[in-house]
């Protein structure tokens, strides 16, 4: 098998890698010029940051979920910066922004002549991210055939370029993100369950802005300062009316929407006082949205519980081992035990015969003494059924 380390020893391919890195560089520059700081002190955000600090030093795959605009990529970058791979590449891929027939080539590269328009060999994002981290944003949009190739990368740490016949070893940490419910996608047959469990080793759920309203004032101050410096304005004060308005708004677009509103307001501002035009904020039916999300979360938990109970039933109550429920679900024993506790599943009720070793009886013997009409008893012994 050809490793990337061997491939990079080839001067022509080293030159090719540098060329592709120079193409990818503007994306990194654009991201660096954006507001890339995680801002806030709310309990919801602190829980996220605590998870980041725990998982960053490891190489575990991370799945970041949450609504659009909640800052999933910022969290992915924070994990990378705190990891041992921080000095190596962080490559971001928007899976929803690449045509379905080109996504495999974008991720894994292609060989010359592999398809119409492939006039030369092209390195994919996994090769460019060698040694570092690859961030797969909107991973739920990947077509099924690409999901199979990604599953191979996670399981075997190797892949093939489109049109290639040689396996290429990879050393990349995978962080994925989605605003979709992947459990529903699994039920619909559009997302592979085995890939989900490979990605979902360490889940992080990003809270929407309406659940961390106490962070809005500090976010407003941060964005106002950033945007004012970018356009060369001096904003000295934020009006109380505007701050109250921003606090009361439900922010369906979350932090991204907040940033856009503030940037627009700064551009329109003609004095040193920052203010927001309330007509820019179209009120949303938050109550019904929150109710729908609560119902959605309950449905998701119910589906997950059914899957775990089904696996426990098939494994006769065994949690670990080759035929245990954890192996059937494709997750670790500790993860399954945690889910069993959180979903309040009584795993003992599936152990009707699971706990008895082969060759043992359910009961050694039971003696009863039925009474005769004359009042005298006859001893009868019933032997248990041996489990085979």
Q: What is the DSSP code (8-state) at residue 95? A: G
User: What 3-state DSSP class applies to 290?
Assistant: helix
Q: Do 159 and 196 have their domain in common?
A: yes
Q: What is the pLDDT averaged over residues 215-223?
A: 95
pLDDT tens digits, residue range 319-357? Answer: 888 888 888 787 777 778 878 877 888 878 887 554 444
Mean pLDDT over each residue of the chain, to the nearest integer: 80
Q: Do 165 and 89 have their domain in common?
A: yes
Q: The tokens of 57 are what? A: 């030093």
217: CATH: 1.10.8.60
Q: Do 385 and 313 have their domain in common?
A: no
Q: What is the CA radius of gyration of the chain?
A: 28
Asked whether residue 314 carries a pLDDT value surpassing 70, the answer given is yes
pLDDT interval class at 299 (50, 70, 90): low
Q: E strands of the chain, at which residues?
A: 2-3, 62-65, 90-94, 133-137, 158-159, 168-169, 173-178, 202-205, 237-238, 273-274, 365-368, 380-383
pLDDT interval class at 288 (50, 70, 90): very low
The reported pLDDT for the residue numbered 322 is 80
Q: What is the pLDDT averaged over residues 50-65?
A: 97
Q: What is the 3-state secondary structure (H, E, C) of 350-374?
A: HCCCCCCCCCCECCCEEEECCECCC
Q: Do 59 and 162 have their domain in common?
A: yes
Q: Out of 260, 280, 300, pick the residue that ends a domain.
A: 280
Q: Token match 């040689």: residue?
A: 166
Q: Out of 261, 280, 299, pick the residue that ends a domain.
A: 280
Q: What is the pLDDT averaged over residues 230-236?
A: 90
Its domain, for residue 303, covers 286-350
The reported pLDDT for the residue numbered 342 is 75
Q: Out of 280, 306, 322, pick the residue that ends a domain.
A: 280
């Amino acid at each position: 098998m050809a490793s990337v380390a061997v491939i990079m020893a080839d001067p022509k391919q080293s030159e090719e890698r540098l060329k592709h890195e120079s193409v990818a560089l503007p994306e990194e520059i654009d991201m660096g010029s954006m507001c890339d700081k995680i801002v806030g002190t709310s309990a919801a955000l602190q829980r996220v940051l605590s998870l980041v600090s725990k998982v960053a030093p490891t190489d575990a795959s991370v799945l970041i979920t949450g609504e659009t605009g909640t800052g999933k990529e910022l969290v992915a970058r924070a994990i990378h910066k705190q990891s041992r791979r921080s000095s190596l590449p962080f490559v971001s891929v928007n899976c929803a922004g690449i045509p379905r027939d080109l996504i495999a080539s974008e991720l894994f590269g292609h060989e010359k002549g592999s398809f119409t328009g492939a006039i030369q060999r092209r390195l994919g994002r996994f090769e460019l991210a060698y040694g570092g981290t690859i961030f797969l944003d909107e991973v739920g949009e990947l077509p099924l055939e690409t999901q199979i190739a990604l599953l191979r990368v996670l399981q075997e740490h190797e892949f093939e370029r489109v049109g290639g016949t040689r396996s290429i070893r990879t050393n990349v940490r995978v962080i994925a993100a989605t605003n979709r419910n992947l459990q529903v996608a699994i039920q619909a047959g559009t997302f592979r369950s085995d890939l989900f469990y490979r990605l979902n080793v360490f889940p992080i759920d990003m809270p929407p802005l309406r659940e961390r309203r106490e962070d809005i004032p500090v976010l407003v101050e941060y964005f106002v300062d950033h945007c004012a410096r970018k356009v060369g304005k001096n904003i000295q004060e934020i009006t109380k009316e505007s701050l109250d308005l921003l606090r009361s708004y439900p922010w369906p677009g979350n932090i991204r929407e907040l940033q856009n509103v503030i940037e627009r307001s700064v551009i329109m501002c003609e004095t040193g006082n920052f203010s927001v035009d309330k007509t820019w904020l179209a009120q949303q039916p938050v109550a019904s949205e929150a109710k729908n999300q609560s119902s959605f979360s309950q449905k998701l938990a119910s589906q997950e519980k059914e899957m775990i109970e089904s696996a426990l039933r098939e494994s006769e109550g065994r949690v670990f081992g080759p035929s245990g429920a954890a192996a059937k679900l494709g997750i670790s024993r500790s993860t399954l035990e945690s889910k069993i506790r959180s979903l309040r599943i009584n795993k003992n009720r599936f152990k009707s015969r699971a706990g008895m070793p082969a060759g043992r009886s359910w009961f050694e013997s039971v003696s009863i003494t039925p009474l005769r009409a004359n009042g005298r008893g006859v001893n009868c012994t019933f032997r248990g059924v041996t489990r085979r």
